[in-house]
Amino acid sequence: MPTSPLLENLNRDGFVIIPSTLTPEELATYRAAAHSTTALARAGKWPLLRTLPKQFPPWPSSPNAGIWGVQAMLHPDLPEHETFTRFYFSDVVIGPTKELLHCADDDLVMELCNLLVRPDRDFELRWHRDDIPPTASAEEEVERLSRPAYSAQWNLALYDDASLVVVPRSHRRARTEEERRAEPYEKHIEGQKVVELKAGDVVFYNNNILHRGVYDAARERMTLHGSVGHVAGAAVRARNVLQHGCKDWIDRCEFGFLEDGVRERAEGMRERLVRMGREHGDVGFSLEG
């Protein structure tokens, strides 16, 4: 099967931007749902959060120190879960995912859908790869990076967003000596690029590209952040996905409100995630901090 231009760009650079994926009506709908969900979280009425100043899971459930994200958009107890569920299983997400993973609906695994929001104070993430610790040797990095990609990870901006900073093509190599010596919050690493998204744009990226986040408390941010997996990678993906706690509620999801075709897609993807949780149990956490 020939490689698509989308996959060629992702394989070459470690990320690829798809512009203008939403209609004006869809953008308005998702913004409204994101605003009400963020307000709920800031008011302490939703416990699944990304709290300041912690970068990686697990996070405390209180927003008192401030938040920079809201977790579990598909959780059946979240008031807006139907809106976000329709989005997650739509062709906006699933179409490019199947192209990037070279697969069909029956190969897909439901993974994560979260919301990244304006922090209550300026906040930055350190340079990292999502599932390779900074202590890894060059040989360990190369071995991990050589494994097949069994997921498609994405950020879809509901407002213009320039928070993600990447080092293009770093998903294909070990860190350079400069990158290893760099401070965790180094402002500039040679070759880095700010990923600039307009509202409605989505970026798909390799989660083991060297990257960081820089979040401005004065700038509105509502970016849907998630991933979809491939069933062949369940053992590889288990920790990266299950560390977010989704196995505690995923079996309660109901998809009767979805249209035919999409509903069957969602039920199959959910069942494959349930199976992954059942088979892999307590998987720990990918990174600390």
Domains, in order of start, for the chain = 5-280 (2.60.120.620)
d(CA 5, CA 12): 10
d(CA 235, CA 278): 12
d(CA 143, CA 46): 39
d(CA 199, CA 181): 35
Q: What are the structure tokens assigned to 192, written together?
A: 């880095």
Q: How far apart are the first and last CA of the chain?
A: 41
d(CA 285, CA 206): 19
Q: What is the pLDDT of residues 46-78, one digit of tens each?
A: 999 999 999 988 899 999 999 999 999 999 999
Phi then psi dihedrals of residue 280, to 5 deg: -115, -10
- Identify whether the C-beta of residue 97 lies closer than 8 Å to the C-beta of residue 228: yes
Query: Average pLDDT for residues 132-156, to the nearest whole number?
Result: 95
Single-letter residue type at 116: L
- Identify whether the C-beta of residue 274 lies closer than 8 Å to the C-beta of residue 231: no
Instruction: Kindly provide the b/e burial profile for residues 12-21, where b requires at least 16 CB atoms within 10 angstroms of the residue's own CB.
Output: ebbbbbbeeb
Q: What is the pLDDT of residues 10-58, one digit of tens each?
A: 999 999 999 999 999 999 999 999 999 999 999 999 999 999 999 988 8
Percent of the chain surpassing pLDDT 90 = 82
Phi then psi dihedrals of residue 10, to 5 deg: -65, -45
- Identify whether the C-beta of residue 200 lies closer than 8 Å to the C-beta of residue 239: no
Query: CB-hemisphere CA count at 13 Å for 20?
Result: 2
Picking from 49, 38, 64, 188, the residue whose alpha carbon sits closest to that of residue 127 is 188
Picking from 12, 9, 75, the residue whose alpha carbon sits closest to that of residue 40 is 75
| pLDDT, position 281 | 59
Least confident of 134-143, 203-212, 271-280: 271-280
Phi then psi dihedrals of residue 33, to 5 deg: -65, -40
d(CA 44, CA 87): 25
Percent of the chain surpassing pLDDT 70 = 92
pTM of the model: 0.92
Query: Average pLDDT for residues 175-188, to the nearest whole number?
Result: 97
Query: Average pLDDT for residues 130-146, to the nearest whole number?
Result: 95
| pLDDT, position 278 | 76
Residue 252 has pLDDT above 50, yes or no: yes
d(CA 287, CA 151): 18
Instruction: Kindly provide the b/e burial profile for residues 266-286, where b requires at least 16 CB atoms within 10 angstroms of the residue's own CB.
Output: bbbbbebbbebbeebeebeeb
Residue 277 has pLDDT above 80, yes or no: no
d(CA 230, CA 236): 10
CB count within 10 Å of CB 64 equals 10
| pLDDT, position 285 | 39
| pLDDT, position 1 | 54
Q: What is the CA radius of gyration of the chain?
A: 18
Residues sharing a CB contact under 8 Å with residue 107, sequence separation 6 or more, in sequence order = 101, 230, 231, 232
Q: What is the pLDDT of residues 224-248, one digit of tens each?
A: 999 999 998 876 676 666 654 677 7
Least confident of 114-128, 210-224, 270-284: 270-284
